[in-house]
Amino acid sequence: MSAMMTLSSATAQIPFFQILSAQQQESSSSLVGIVQDVTGAIISNAVIELTRNGSGEKPHVDFDKDGKFLVKSLSPGAYTIRIHSPGFRDYTKQITLASRQEFKLAVTLDVASMGQVVEVSTAVPVISATARPR
């Protein structure tokens, strides 16, 4: 009987945050994806920002040189994902994650329109052409 008491008292000493953490892991979701251009080439220098709508929480995004990204342990709910890379148009999408969902996202970034600015000056440099007397 003392063995049962020890077991039950040991169980009662499990910290509350560990129980919550285990429950959160059971219901957590993930986001996986890839970033490429219109030709299918990998964009390895993209910046990916994920924001939980309402709270503004910004979970960490793992991104590798192969253009793949992964966000684990997300709470179910609405998020905004924003992806940008130099020379490409920004990408923004609203997503909603359900409990224990693995949301897959293949992102194709379009090339940004290139505008060329040429500055022309009409000012003529002043040159002194006066001769000095000798």
Distance CA 131, CA 84 (A): 61
77 Cβ contact partners less than 8 Å away, ≥ 6 residues apart: 52, 53, 54, 96, 97
Q: CATH fold of 29-109, please?
A: Immunoglobulin-like (2.60.40)
The pTM of the full predicted model, rounded to 2 decimals, is 0.65
Record the tokens describing residue 67, joined without a space. Answer: 């253009």
Q: What is the mean pLDDT of the chain?
A: 78
The pLDDT of residue 104 is above 60: yes
* pLDDT, tens digit (0-9, with 9 covering 90-100), for 44-54: 999 999 999 99
* pLDDT, tens digit (0-9, with 9 covering 90-100), for 27-48: 799 999 999 999 999 999 999 9
Asked if residues 99 and 76 have their Cβ atoms less than 8 Å apart, the reply is yes
Angle at 128 between CA 127 and CA 130, to 5 degrees: 150
125 φ/ψ sector (left φ>0, alpha ψ -120 to 50, else beta): beta
